[in-house]
Amino acid sequence: MKPFTIVLFFISLQVLNAQDKEIIRNLDGFTEVKGFDGLSIHLIKSSENKAVITGANTHKVAIVNNNGVLKIRMEIDKIFSGYRTYVDLYHTEVLKVIDVNEDARMYSDETYKQDVLELKAQEGGELEIGCQVDQLLIKAVSGGKILVSGFSNNQDVIINTGGDYNGKSFKTKFTTISVNAGGNAEIYATDYVKANVKAGGEVLVYGDPTKMDESTVFGGKIKRVE
């Protein structure tokens, strides 16, 4: 066998080994979920709690449930290497907190209808969700990105160190927002906005709110958008 053919053969074996079989893990109930290590996590409302893992290194996905807080990450020898690993996460409980970290991506085709929902993204994590709530809590820091659609009465937003929030399709009555250190946000409010923007941060305000209280420091920007 020629050397080049041998190399191709072993590369093919490595690729096949990396594409592991689908793994299904049954889970206890949880109300908070955290994703890490570049994993792609699809949230699905269901009558059962389970994780269906596909793609590469499926046997290296670690799932820990600590008193209803579910953490999904790669095992230590595959840390930060979940970019080709996919998790369909089925859940029965109302999710109070959805938290994405370390370049992981979390999303859902569902619309979450509940009183309060808290969304967090940091360290390059990305979160995309639709919801209809009374109050939405948003926190995006250190390059985290959050995209939300739907509506609520109240919204509280914190953006820091390069975080990004796209909420122009999320309609609210009242929004308070704090942006710092190069963070960016797009919000929609009809009645009232309280915006505090510092150090190069920028907020775009949609919805033509009746009243706005604005504070900008060290290059912060607030703009109304029609």
In a shared domain, residues 225 and 139: yes
Whether residue 218 lies inside any domain: the answer is yes
In a shared domain, residues 81 and 106: no
In a shared domain, residues 49 and 131: no
Whether residue 64 lies inside any domain: the answer is yes
Query: Token digits for 25?
Result: 């893990």
- Output the 3-class SS for 35-79: ECCCCEEEEEECCCCEEEEEEECHHHEEEEEECCEEEEEECHHHC
What's the predicted TM-score (pTM) here?
0.90
End-of-domain residue from the set 38, 63, 93: 93
Whether residue 9 lies inside any domain: the answer is no
In a shared domain, residues 82 and 105: no
Q: Which residues span the domain enclosing 40?
A: 20-93
- Residues above pLDDT 70, as percent of the chain: 92
For the stretch 158-216, pLDDT in tens is 999 999 999 999 999 999 999 998 899 999 999 999 999 998 899 999 999 999 999 99
Q: What is the CATH classification number for the domain harbouring 173?
A: 2.160.20.120
The three-state secondary structure class of 172 is strand
Whether residue 8 lies inside any domain: the answer is no
In a shared domain, residues 122 and 225: yes
Q: Report the distance separating Cα 82 and Cα 100, nearest Å.
A: 13
Number of separate domains in the chain:
2
Closest CA to 167 of 142, 137, 196: 137
Q: How many CB atoms lie within 10 A of CB 1?
A: 6
Query: Token digits for 116?
Result: 């309060």
For the stretch 93-140, pLDDT in tens is 999 999 999 999 999 999 999 999 999 999 999 999 999 999 999 999
In a shared domain, residues 61 and 31: yes
Whether residue 82 lies inside any domain: the answer is yes
What value, to the nearest 5°, has the Cα angle with vertex 204 and ends 199 and 210?
Answer: 115
